Amino acid sequence: MAVQQGSFEDCCLSESHNKRLKTLLDSIHIEADRFLGYPVSQQFDYSCLFPFLTYPMNNVGDPYTQSNYHLNSHSFEREVLAFFSKLLNAPDDGVWGYVTNGGTEGNMYGIYLGREIFPNGMVYYSEDTHYSVPKILRILSARNIMIKSQPNGEMDYQDFAETISIFRDVPAIIFANIGTTMTGAMDNLTKIKEILKQRAITNYYIHADAALAGMILPFVDHPQPFDFSSGIDSISISGHKMIGSPIPCGVALARKNHVARIARAVEYVGTLDTTISGSRNAISPLFLWYAIHQKGKLGFRSMIQNCISVANYTVDRLNQVGIKAWRHKNSVTVIFPKMSEKVLKKWQIAVHRDIAHIITMPNTSKTQINAFIDDLIQGIEENDDVTGKQYV
């Protein structure tokens, strides 16, 4: 979506406050055009839904039960969840879910369920796992062990096998990365389950963090194992990443028999308490519902194919100019060596240790990629007006 520069003259604020708002919008308008390092789509327009912003809507409680709070979008939320359930090959009437505030909440929910099922269980996660997971583990006081990662970001299965062998008598809670933050690496669920089977570990729970890849893998021809048909117990997918939303959001889905263990009736709101938060955003489900019906599966497939095409183009262009770049199968994350901090800062490129990455989202154009690569090659001179260039 092209960000519109608007007027704040109708705001009931002082001239100085209106000016501050306009200055912020002008800055956002410029910076949004140089936004290559983070997995957030800008290709959306929900302006027709703006009338809902005039009401105190709240999706408090369980989306599948009635609530005393009638200003909600639960019926639309349930349609969103049904779409994702089918997309993720969930068993009929076998999963429960809700629209979250983002991937971190979805991951917390998955670990929370695993911990409630196995109070003394051990959480296993790799060192390339999202930075929020150690924090979640501290909040939940969950026992945990970090597993080594391979150089490409994928879990080190030998280290996992050796570590889990030491704790064979302890239920295992596996946190699987279906697309790591920096490299887009995907932990192999088949190998993980084989290791569990070889060591006769039958008490286990698998949560999949598919924040970005969860909206990629369903629309490619040869996806890696990642969904309920692959034996997961819960999954977290972001809504503001590949689909796009002005408000961070996501979807958490889990097997219904697991959720039943934590459900509590709350008389005050007349519904079940089955989510992490009490009050929940009722607008995000409308955004996701709108996008699903606007694009449909064919539209999403076309969008994903374009993102992958631009990712391939980015890898090729960087390699052509002597910058070693690569990406994982079915990933739109392009990895290359960290260089020229001034250029990386200008284009808001994420970095970690000695690598950097570009993530080719639906709004990422080849023109932007070319402009970024030109900057890498030439560098940015001190007197360049970097705020005046736009590449769309």
- The verdict on whether 279 is a catalytic residue reads no
Q: Are residues 204 and 156 in the same domain?
A: yes
Q: Are residues 148 and 254 in the same domain?
A: yes
Q: Is residue 384 a part of any domain in this protein? A: no
Q: Are residues 287 and 303 in the same domain?
A: no
**Is residue 270 packed enough to be buried (19+ CB in 10 Å), middle (13-18) or exposed (0-12)?**
middle
Phi, psi of 81 (to 5 degrees): -65, -35
**Tokens 């183009």 belong to residue:** 313
Residue 152 has a pLDDT of 95
Of 229, 277, 331, 340, catalytic: 331
Residue 385 has a pLDDT of 46
Question: How distant is the alpha carbon of residue 152 from its chain centre?
Answer: 20
Residue 265 has a pLDDT of 58
For CA atoms 356, 362, 363, 366, the dihedral sign is positive
Q: Are residues 287 and 313 in the same domain?
A: no
Three-state SS across 255-317? EHHHHCCCCEEECCCCEEECCCCCCCCCCHHHHHHHHHHHHHHHHHHHHHHHHHHHHHHHHHH
Residue 266 has a pLDDT of 58
Q: Are residues 114 and 55 in the same domain?
A: yes
Q: Is residue 303 a part of any domain in this protein? A: yes
Q: Which tokens belong to 312?
A: 């391939």
**Is residue 148 packed enough to be buried (19+ CB in 10 Å), middle (13-18) or exposed (0-12)?**
middle
Q: Are residues 276 and 316 in the same domain?
A: no
Q: Are residues 136 and 115 in the same domain?
A: yes
Total domains, the chain: 3
CB 173 within 8 A of CB 152: no
Q: Is residue 132 a part of any domain in this protein? A: yes
Q: What CA–CA distance (Å, rounded) separates 178 from 344?
A: 26
Q: Is residue 286 a part of any domain in this protein? A: yes
Q: Are residues 302 and 286 in the same domain?
A: no
Question: Which residue type, as a one-letter code, is found at position 345?
Answer: K
CATH number at residue 336: 3.90.1150.10
Residue 269 has a pLDDT of 55
6: containing domain: 1-25
Q: Is residue 56 a part of any domain in this protein? A: yes
Q: Are residues 40 and 61 in the same domain?
A: no
Q: Is residue 386 a part of any domain in this protein? A: no
Q: Is residue 392 a part of any domain in this protein? A: no
CB 99 within 8 A of CB 81: yes
Q: Is 161 helix (H, G, I), strand (E, B) or coil?
A: helix
Which residues, other chains included, contact 354 with Cβ-Cβ below 8 Å and sequence gap of 6+? Answer: 337, 338
Q: Are residues 104 and 219 in the same domain?
A: yes
| Average confidence (pLDDT) per 10 residues, the chain, 392 residues | 58 90 94 95 97 97 91 98 98 95 96 96 97 96 98 97 97 98 98 97 98 98 97 98 97 93 62 84 98 98 98 97 96 95 94 96 97 85 44 42
Residue 353 has a pLDDT of 92
Q: Are residues 244 and 273 in the same domain?
A: yes
CATH number at residue 206: 3.40.640.10
Residue 111 has a pLDDT of 97
Q: Are residues 231 and 151 in the same domain?
A: yes
Q: Is residue 268 a part of any domain in this protein? A: yes
